[in-house]
């Protein structure tokens, strides 16, 4: 996934978690703080669940608990994508 | 740490209210159903396990941190022949009930463990279902929880004699549900039933005992908490009419949801229960007292 695709998926997940905040979520950046965007701990977990579904991932709870910025989410996703890179390539070639 | 107001939300609805679903000793924590399906016996099993974990011997002076309505204090004094048993609690309603225990060697203090100053050292410490109140959800998110837990263990170390043991029981978090309904049920219990409290993760307990205590034994009792909650939930439902009349339909619905959801949460592996036997590390370079 490209950086743009990762950011777009995070945006999609946050809109899923907080549909009433869709307008301001349109303008998120890597440095945006989730709490400033009005995403609480339940919203964070709803958004994580959405991303986990898309990536067939299950982020460790302790790492999720530390997510404060959009970039923290991005880092979690990149880490998952890298450690599953080989598997994904194989899946694509089938 | 849960504030006194938060503790009162969790434990001071009315002593009569909790009596409707707890065992006769009013032990509001996971029981041990080894060889029995009877809640009364299972609670005695648990109290024995914790007393054994703390190596409570006849004649011992014991501190119980978070003593609830005093069921464990009475048990330690009567069944385990402790010489002196002190319980601390932040709940005024629990404190009033403990003071009615008519035993010369049982005493209670209405005080936070953060302000408690014992009159003399203890031979053993027990703490059942209090650890969950040390850190708030905000502390856990910011990572401050480990230092708060460590401070709790440091105080316990300072209050005890060399050679002491500590029997500890706490709910532990295993994994956070992703199912939105279950997630909201657990959030409801965390923020509405036990405000200001958060279940620790086992690794947080393990990280924070150092350098004061050695973990000698650890048991996890997930299924036992599911069964305990099922017993409480069944008793609570048997008393539906009384609860609705005396405390209102909203209170019934709230506790009906909490007890049912938590039984399910333990059954499905979102939470578990840890029992630890800790031995005091006497070579720590701090002064006791």
pLDDT band (50, 70, 90) for residue B55: very high
pLDDT band (50, 70, 90) for residue A94: very low
Size of interface A-B (CB pairs under 8 A): 26
Model confidence over B139-154: pLDDT tens digits?
A: 998 889 999 999 999 9
Mean pLDDT of A51-69: 91
Domain count, chain A: 1
Identify the contact set of chain B against chain A, taking CB-CB distances under 8 A. Answer: 137, 140-141, 143, 173, 175-176, 178, 180, 183-184, 187, 201, 203
Say whether pLDDT at A93 is over 90: no
| Cross-strand partners of A12 | none
- What domains does chain B contain, in order, with CATH numbers? 4-280 (3.40.50.150)
Say whether pLDDT at B196 is over 50: yes
Q: Give pLDDT, residue B205.
A: 98
| Percentage of chain B exceeding pLDDT 90 | 91
Model confidence over A13-59: pLDDT tens digits?
A: 999 999 999 988 988 999 999 999 999 889 999 999 999 999 999 99
Which one of B140, B178, B201 has the shortest CB-CB distance to A52? B178
On whether ipTM exceeds 0.85, the answer is no
pLDDT band (50, 70, 90) for residue A75: very high
Mean pLDDT of B184-207: 94
Model confidence over B62-103: pLDDT tens digits?
A: 999 999 999 999 999 999 999 999 999 999 999 999 999 989
How would DSSP label each residue in B43-109?
A: HHHHHHHHHHHTT--TT-EEEEES-TTSHHHHHHHHTS--SEEEEEES-HHHHHHHHT---TTEEEE
Testing the interface with A: which of B141, B172, B178, B192 to mutate, by most A Cβ within 10 A?
B178
Residues 6 or more apart in contact with residue B29 via CB below 8 angstroms: B46, B68, B128, B129, B169, B228
Q: Is the Cβ pair A61, B183 closer than 8 Å?
A: no
Q: Is the Cβ pair A45, B183 closer than 8 Å?
A: yes
Say whether pLDDT at A4 is over 90: yes
Residue A19 belongs to domain with CATH number: 1.10.1200.10
> Helices B222-238 and B39-53: crossing angle, nearest 10°?
140
Q: Give pLDDT, residue A87.
A: 53
Nearest chain B Cα to A51, which residue?
B178
Which one of A41, A45, A65 has the shortest CB-CB distance to B178? A45
Q: Give pLDDT, residue B176.
A: 92
Nearest chain A Cα to B173, which residue?
A61
Helix-strand-coil split of chain B, %, nearest 5 = 45, 20, 35
Q: Give pLDDT, residue A65.
A: 83
- Residue A37 domain boundaries: 3-93
The pTM is what?
0.92
Q: Give pLDDT, residue B59.
A: 98
Which one of B143, B176, B184 has the shortest CB-CB distance to A61? B176
Q: Is the Cβ pair B178, A65 closer than 8 Å?
A: no
- Mean pLDDT over each residue of chain B, to the nearest integer: 96
How far does the CA of residue B141 sit from the closest CA of chain A (Å)? 6
Q: Give pLDDT, residue B279.
A: 98
Which one of B141, B180, B187 has the shortest CB-CB distance to A65? B141
Instruction: Name the residue with higher pLDDT: B55 or B178.
Output: B55
Model confidence over B217-231: pLDDT tens digits?
A: 999 999 999 999 999
| Cross-strand partners of B165 | B124, B279
φ and ψ of B286, to 5 deg: -130, 165
């Amino acid at each position: 996934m490209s950086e743009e695709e990762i950011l777009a998926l995070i945006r999609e997940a946050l809109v899923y978690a907080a549909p009433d905040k869709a307008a301001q979520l349109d303008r998120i950046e890597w440095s945006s703080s989730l709490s400033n965007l009005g995403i609480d701990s339940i919203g964070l977990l709803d958004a994580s669940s959405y991303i986990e579904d898309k990536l067939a991932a299950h982020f460790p709870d302790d790492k999720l608990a530390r997510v404060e910025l959009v970039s923290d989410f991005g880092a979690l996703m990149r880490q998952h994508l890298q450690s599953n890179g080989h598997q994904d390539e194989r899946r694509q070639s089938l | 740490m849960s504030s006194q107001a938060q503790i009162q939300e969790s434990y001071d609805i009315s002593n009569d209210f909790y009596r409707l679903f707890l065992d006769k000793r009013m032990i509001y924590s996971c029981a041990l159903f080894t060889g029995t399906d009877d809640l009364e016996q299972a609670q005695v099993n648990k109290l024995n396990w914790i007393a054994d974990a703390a190596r409570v011997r006849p004649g011992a002076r014991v501190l119980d941190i978070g003593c609830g309505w005093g069921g464990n204090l009475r048990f330690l004094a009567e069944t385990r022949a402790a010489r002196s048993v002190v319980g601390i609690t932040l709940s005024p309603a629990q404190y009033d009930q403990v003071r009615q225990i008519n035993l010369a060697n049982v005493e209670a203090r209405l005080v936070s463990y953060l302000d408690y100053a014992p009159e003399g050292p203890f031979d053993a410490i027990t703490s059942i279902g209090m650890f969950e109140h040390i850190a708030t959800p905000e502390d856990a998110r910011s990572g401050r929880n480990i230092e708060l837990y460590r401070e709790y263990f440091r105080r316990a170390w300072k209050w005890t004699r060399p050679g002491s043991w500590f029997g500890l029981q706490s709910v532990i978090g295993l994994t956070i549900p992703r199912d939105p309904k279950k997630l909201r049920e657990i959030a409801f219990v965390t923020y509405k039933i036990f405000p200001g409290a958060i279940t620790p993760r086992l690794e947080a307990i393990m990280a924070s005992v150092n350098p004061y205590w050695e973990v000698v034994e650890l048991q996890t009792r997930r299924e036992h908490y599911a069964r305990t909650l099922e017993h409480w939930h069944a008793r609570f439902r048997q008393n539906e009419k009384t609860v609705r009349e005396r405390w209102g339909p909203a209170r019934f619905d709230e506790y009906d949801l909490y007890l049912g959801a938590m039984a399910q949460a333990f059954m499905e592996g979102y939470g578990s229960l840890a029992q630890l036997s800790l031995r005091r590390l006497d070579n720590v370079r701090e002064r006791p007292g």
